[in-house]
Amino acid sequence: MDDKQKVTDSNEECVYCLQHAIELLTKKRNHVKYCKLLYTYDQNELNDMIQKLMEKIEAKTQKKSQSKHGAFSR
C-alpha cells in the first residue's frame, strides 16, 4: 500500500489503498459519500509547498503594490 495515498470509508470503518478503493467504488457507487481521499506529504514536500506559496504571495503583493503606485501616477 502506498503510504501517501489512502481512502477511508467511514461507513465500513476501513482504509483502502487507492487501487482497491477504485475497485470498491466502481462496484458500490453509493459508498462515495462515505469515502475520503487522504494524501500525506513528507517534510521536504511540505517545505517546498511553503516556499512556493511564499513566492506566490510575494509576487501578488508586488503586483498590488505596483498597481497602486500606477494609479497615483495618472
What pLDDT, in 10s, does the model give residues 12-35? 888 999 999 999 899 999 989 999
> The cell 461507513 sits on which residue?
11
Q: Residue 66: which pLDDT band, with cuts at 50, 70 and 90?
A: confident
What pLDDT, on the 0 to 100 scale, is given for residue 63? 85
33 forms beta bridges with none
pTM over 0.85: no
Q: Is the pLDDT of residue 68 over 60?
A: yes
12 Cβ neighbours under 8 A, 6+ residues apart:
31, 34
